[in-house]
Copies of this chain bind each other. A is one copy, B any other.
């Protein structure tokens, strides 16, 4: 029962992470074949990463056959798992998603607000194409989607492709669980968090250690200034009233919605000093790839951890492992609602705890959302649905409505100019939006 994994966007700087993950799990999760796939523009990076991965496998003495290719369809034959870590338009496109909204007075962020919307517009068609190929070539394979905005993209693929074995994964719940374990000084295996909501808008309603509720202890620690934001998001802390009134764990992305003005100010200041986050990351990446070229390097370099994607590999590998082994453990995934949250449509993708089995994730029922967060979560899901509708229809009006109903934009008179600049900037990656509709 050898396993074959195909990694789309295999030339990413994250690849050594996931390779390491497979190596470490050889005993229980027998990955025997890995194919790294990328596009022409990424040929060089793919080559560099491929060679490093090869050295890592050799060093570990793992029984894995690795290769890399630009021929995606060919690579998919016989796949058991397909993992995505692509970035349509690369970091250059991300820089635009961050810079242009800022210029118009809005938050510019990779996965939220107008930036996230355009990342979705660029990514959705590409992933639908991939999923349709999978439906034909490897219909039994699971698509494990890491590409952001992971919730929106996963929902779009489930709604508009022929493939339905699709799971979205994010490292935020993974990170939060690890941070909570640190806060409570407990092994992470004994910590459970009930996650409810949407990707990047998920709350932790309960924290349990060995089944005992410890939520208040974690909130108290957060109140004392303990932070658990990942490397790529600088947290501003939460007020005591916020934590005591809500009585749920926020996630780092919540700052965009509950500290909007302060974050905008902070981001503008950071931008003026260092450019956008994308530009910072570009430098980090350049250094990483220099490192990767070093033929002496045969393990994952430590610098990668600072890149922001900590635990991505663990999240991905644990998920595939549990599916393969029908483990029945609980992981947090992005999957179809199908009644799990009563207030959201059945065909919405939510971020939720699920029992992971060979036949897929089975979410644990949440019922009605707690009143305090019901409105905002419903509102964000509405935005997500409008975003998907626009990404598919290519209608300017749909794109306008998505902006109008996004709490970070919503200013009806400023949307036109914001949209037009973004459409112009990303034109090459948005064939579904005809130029005449926005110019």
A contact set with B: CB distance below 8 Å: 105, 192, 206, 208, 210-213, 236, 238-239, 241-242, 244-246, 257-262, 326, 328-330, 337-343, 346, 355, 357-359, 362-368, 371-376, 378-383, 385-386, 389, 396-398, 400-401, 404-405, 407, 410-413, 415-416
Please determine whether A241 and B416 come into contact, CB atoms closer than 8 angstroms: yes
Please determine whether B400 and A245 come into contact, CB atoms closer than 8 angstroms: yes
Q: Shortest beta-carbon distance, A2 to chain B, in Å? A: 17
Q: How far is A266 from B362 in the complex, measured between Cα atoms in Å?
A: 41
Please determine whether A371 and B386 come into contact, CB atoms closer than 8 angstroms: yes
29 sample A-B contacts, Cβ–Cβ < 8 Å, listed by A number: A192-B357, A208-B359, A211-B326, A211-B357, A213-B359, A236-B413, A239-B412, A241-B396, A241-B400, A241-B415, A241-B416, A245-B400, A246-B404, A257-B410, A258-B411, A259-B411, A259-B413, A261-B411, A328-B330, A330-B355, A339-B341, A339-B366, A355-B355, A365-B365, A365-B366, A372-B386, A373-B405, A374-B378, A376-B405
Q: Shortest beta-carbon distance, A133 to chain B, in Å? A: 25
Q: Shortest beta-carbon distance, A158 to chain B, in Å? A: 14
The dominant DSSP class at the A interface is mixed
Please determine whether A405 and B372 come into contact, CB atoms closer than 8 angstroms: yes
Q: For A244, A257, A367, which residue has the most chain B Cβ atoms within 10 angstroms?
A: A367
Q: How far is A242 from B405 in the complex, measured between Cα atoms in Å?
A: 11
Please determine whether B404 and A407 come into contact, CB atoms closer than 8 angstroms: no
- Enumerate chain B residues within 8 angstroms of A383, measured Cβ to Cβ: 375
- Enumerate chain B residues within 8 angstroms of A382, measured Cβ to Cβ: 371-372, 374-376, 378
Please determine whether B375 and A380 come into contact, CB atoms closer than 8 angstroms: yes
Q: How many copies does the complex hold?
A: 4
- Enumerate chain B residues within 8 angstroms of A375, measured Cβ to Cβ: 378-383, 405
Please determine whether B358 and A212 come into contact, CB atoms closer than 8 angstroms: yes
Q: How far is A135 from B369 in the complex, measured between Cα atoms in Å?
A: 27
Indicate which residue in B213, B262, B378, B404 contacts A379 across the interface (CB closer than 8 Å): B378
Q: Shortest beta-carbon distance, A387 to chain B, in Å? A: 11
Please determine whether A260 and B372 come into contact, CB atoms closer than 8 angstroms: no
Q: How far is A401 from B244 in the complex, measured between Cα atoms in Å?
A: 10
Q: How far is A405 from B372 in the complex, measured between Cα atoms in Å?
A: 7
Q: How far is A358 from B239 in the complex, measured between Cα atoms in Å?
A: 31
Q: How far is A261 from B383 in the complex, measured between Cα atoms in Å?
A: 21
- Enumerate chain B residues within 8 angstroms of A407, measured Cβ to Cβ: 407, 410
Please determine whether A367 and B346 come into contact, CB atoms closer than 8 angstroms: yes
Chain B residue with the shortest CB-CB distance to A323: B211
Beyond A382-B374, A405-B375, whether A364 also contacts B367 by CB under 8 A is no
Please determine whether A340 and B365 come into contact, CB atoms closer than 8 angstroms: yes
Q: How far is A208 from B355 in the complex, measured between Cα atoms in Å?
A: 14
Chain B residue with the shortest CB-CB distance to A378: B378
Indicate which residue in B257, B259, B413 contacts A239 across the interface (CB closer than 8 Å): B413
Q: Shortest beta-carbon distance, A194 to chain B, in Å? A: 8
- Enumerate chain B residues within 8 angstroms of A239, measured Cβ to Cβ: 412-413, 415-416
Excluding A242-B404, A339-B366, A339-B367, 9 further A-B contacts by CB distance (< 8 Å) are A208-B326, A241-B396, A241-B415, A242-B400, A245-B397, A245-B401, A257-B410, A339-B340, A365-B366
- Enumerate chain B residues within 8 angstroms of A366, measured Cβ to Cβ: 339, 365
Q: Shortest beta-carbon distance, A303 to chain B, in Å? A: 34
Q: Shortest beta-carbon distance, A330 to chain B, in Å? A: 7
Please determine whether B365 and A339 come into contact, CB atoms closer than 8 angstroms: yes
- Enumerate chain B residues within 8 angstroms of A236, measured Cβ to Cβ: 413
- Enumerate chain B residues within 8 angstroms of A328, measured Cβ to Cβ: 329-330
Chain B residue with the shortest CB-CB distance to A360: B211
Q: How far is A342 from B341 in the complex, measured between Cα atoms in Å?
A: 9
Q: How far is A362 from B192 in the complex, measured between Cα atoms in Å?
A: 13
Please determine whether A258 and B371 come into contact, CB atoms closer than 8 angstroms: no
- Enumerate chain B residues within 8 angstroms of A413, measured Cβ to Cβ: 236, 239, 242, 259, 262
Q: Shortest beta-carbon distance, A67 to chain B, in Å? A: 29
Q: Shortest beta-carbon distance, A283 to chain B, in Å? A: 32
Q: How far is A415 from B243 in the complex, measured between Cα atoms in Å?
A: 13
Q: For A212, A244, A330, A404, which residue has the most chain B Cβ atoms within 10 angstroms?
A: A404
